[in-house]
Structure 1
Amino acid sequence: MRIFAGFILCLVVLIVAGTILLYSGWYNVAATEPHTALGRWILDTAKHRSVEAKADEVQVPAEFSEAQIRRGFEHFRETCVACHGAPGVERSEMGRGLRPQPPPLADVVPEWSTAELFWIAKHGIRMTGMPAWGPTHGDDELWAMVAFVKTLPTMSAEDYRRMEMEAANGRPERAQPERGQGH
């Protein structure tokens, strides 16, 4: 009985301390201040475990087509690059002002499965600035985004610029023969 009473007392003390912390305004929520190490660990652990658990239900396509990757690039260029940047492209002012900082996707894509990337794109992540694209985009568009994002770890700044030029021209750029090779 003493152990149970001790547990209840400890729980009451934690609730009171948490309430005082919550209402005191002591915890700084300014986006100019980074999370504490404990806060960052709690949020990051919760994010990874939640996405991992929820993504178990996602059915991943066998492969992605070049057309899907190009459609995904279009969406990425219009809506994602401002916060995440891209190979050879810095984040916008808005992206630099978010806390936590949106990661360069080329660096973090390998730590997420394809199903997890789809789930993140579809549902977003609270308290990170990552929007849920599911309410405004169909699954085919979301898979195209994932198809492109999966290419980022191997994409150079030159590759990204080439895709931008192709998109601006409305067609894939064809390799030009080098001088002296005829045609």
Structure 2
Amino acid sequence: MKTILSLLLASFVLGIIALGSGAYNMAATEKHWKITEKLIEWVRDSSIKARAEDLTVPLLEDTELLAQGAEHYNAMCTICHLAPGMKPTELSAGLYPQAPIFHQRETTTDETKRMEHAKAYFWVIKNGLKMTAMPAWGLSHDDQAIWGMVAFIFKLGHMTPEQYENLINSTQSHAHGGEDNGHGHSH
């Protein structure tokens, strides 16, 4: 038993020395080691699920919620997550991990999965994600605004550029931001 513990300790110390020497490349132009990527995904997904599971999802089909979400998405999210018909931006191209491109995702028809995704999207939008460039919009936007973005993300699946532009143009008079906390701004 002592031999096994000694080997584990020696392996741990060697691992720390190797990582501290710069052996692991932190550049965004290099992918993580497969084991690192799997570990990060597992920790991220487990963390989000544990914190989002008790959320109550509002009616995501509400037209005012969708309009608010469309405007927020257009103003805040397209630089990383893009929009239908939009080419990658300099910022989106340089992100690692890459931000999800929601208009290219398949729509979820399973209602249980849809609610799980809604809760996870809400939690991530509100709280952000460490080391991904995803900001915590909950610091400047209320829950209603964040649920609006979630509702809009669900509508983005396979939306055409024309449909996107029509929806965005129909919401231009809507105020943007967390007006209740002084962080809002208008377009």
Per the normalisation by structure 1, the TM-score is 0.82
1:27-60, Cα deviation, whole Å (9 max, x unpaired):
1111121222222212122211211111112111
Structure 1 counterpart of 2:83, from 80, 86, 105: 86
Instruction: Say how many residue pairs are matched.
Output: 167
Structure 2 SS opposite 1:160? helix
Is 1:136–2:140 an aligned residue pair?
A: yes
Q: In the alignment, which residue of structure 2 is the partner of 1:181?
A: none
Please identify, of 74-83 and 107-116, the stretch whose mean Cα deviation from structure 2 is larger.
107-116
Q: In the alignment, which residue of structure 1 is the partner of 2:150?
A: 146
1:92-121, Cα deviation, whole Å (9 max, x unpaired):
211111111112023277475211111111
Give the direction of change, closer, same or farther, for the CA distance of 1:109–1:44 in structure 2 (3 Å limit).
farther
Q: In the alignment, which residue of structure 1 is the partner of 2:182?
A: none
Give the share of equivalent positions with the same residue, in percent.
34
Give the direction of change, closer, same or farther, for the CA distance of 1:61–1:10 in structure 2 (3 Å limit).
farther
Structure 1 counterpart of 2:43, from 40, 43, 46: 46
CA distance in 2, matches of 1:63, 1:80: 19
What's the CA shift for 1:91?
Answer: 2.9
Per the normalisation by structure 2, the TM-score is 0.80
What's the CA shift for 1:61?
Answer: 1.2
CA distance in 2, matches of 1:63, 1:128: 26
8 Å CA contact 2:60, 2:147 repeated in 1 = no
CA distance in 2, matches of 1:157, 1:95: 18
1:128-175, Cα deviation, whole Å (9 max, x unpaired):
11111111111111111111111111422221121233235x49xxxx
8 Å CA contact 1:52, 1:116 repeated in 2 = yes
**Stretches of structure 1 lacking an aligned partner (at least 5 in a row):** 172-183
CA distance in 1, matches of 2:163, 2:26: 39
Structure 1 SS opposite 2:170? helix
Q: In the alignment, which residue of structure 2 is the partner of 1:10?
A: 7
Q: Which has the higher contact order (CA 8 A, sep 6+)?
A: 2
Please identify, of 134-143 and 108-117, the stretch whose mean Cα deviation from structure 2 is larger.
108-117
Q: In the alignment, which residue of structure 2 is the partner of 1:156?
A: 160
Give the direction of change, closer, same or farther, for the CA distance of 1:114–1:16 in structure 2 (3 Å limit).
same
Whose radius of gyration is greater, 1 or 2?
Answer: 1
Is 1:61–2:65 an aligned residue pair?
A: no
Is 1:29–2:26 an aligned residue pair?
A: yes
Q: In the alignment, which residue of structure 1 is the partner of 2:101?
A: 104
Output the aligned Cα RMSD.
Answer: 2.1
1:58-95, Cα deviation, whole Å (9 max, x unpaired):
11114431111111011111110000111111232111
**Stretches of structure 2 lacking an aligned partner (at least 5 in a row):** 175-187
